Amino acid sequence: MSSSEMEKLMRNAIIISCFLGVLVASYLIWYHFQESYSALYLIPESYTNYVEGDTISFVYGVKSYETKRTKYNLKIYLGGRLEEEKEFWLESGEKREEEVSLRIPEQMEFPTKVRLVLEANGREYDVHFWLKGRRQ
């Protein structure tokens, strides 16, 4: 193999290596900047702002837009008091909806906030609605 052929081969190898390096770097940058988040929501038709009887119920949902399987910790507060705590996992793109019922104490003062706090990947999401009073 002559030196000119060797130089040509080296030049082509360098060009191919640079091209592959740019492709790998582009993919890694793109992957790093992918948005990763979750959505916590209440189904509006699932609750009322007035207590009927001694319980309320509502449906919450969590949609995962995370880039990997994620562990969630959900806390449900009535006023300032923790009523329930749930832990679950969701795959990327997976959705979970669940109905919750809470017993409302007789001595509850109104208005009272029902608050859901979701923790995932070091981030916190919350959603709430108000109980305005008892329906007569």
pLDDT the model gives residue 5: 83
Q: For residue 40, which amino acid is it?
A: L
Percentages of the chain per state (helix, strand, coil), in multiples of 5: 25, 50, 25
Q: Which domain holds residue 109?
A: 37-134
Residues 57 and 108 reside in one and the same domain = yes
Q: pLDDT (tens digit, 0 to 9) for every residue of the chain, 136 residues total?
A: 677 888 888 888 888 888 888 888 777 776 666 678 999 999 999 999 999 989 999 999 999 999 899 999 999 999 999 999 999 999 999 999 999 999 999 899 999 999 999 999 999 999 999 999 998 7
Nearest CA to 113 among 122, 104, 100? Answer: 104
Structurally, the chain folds into a number of domains equal to 2
Shared domain for 50 and 103, answered yes or no, is yes
Tokens 């997976």 appear where? Answer: 94
Residues 45 and 108 in one domain: yes
Q: Tell me: do 81 and 54 sit in the same domain.
A: yes
CATH code of the domain in which 113 resides: 2.60.40.10
Neighbouring C-alpha atoms within 13 Å toward the C-beta of 14: 6
- Predicted TM-score (pTM) of the model is 0.76
Kindly state whether residues 56 and 26 are assigned to the same domain. no
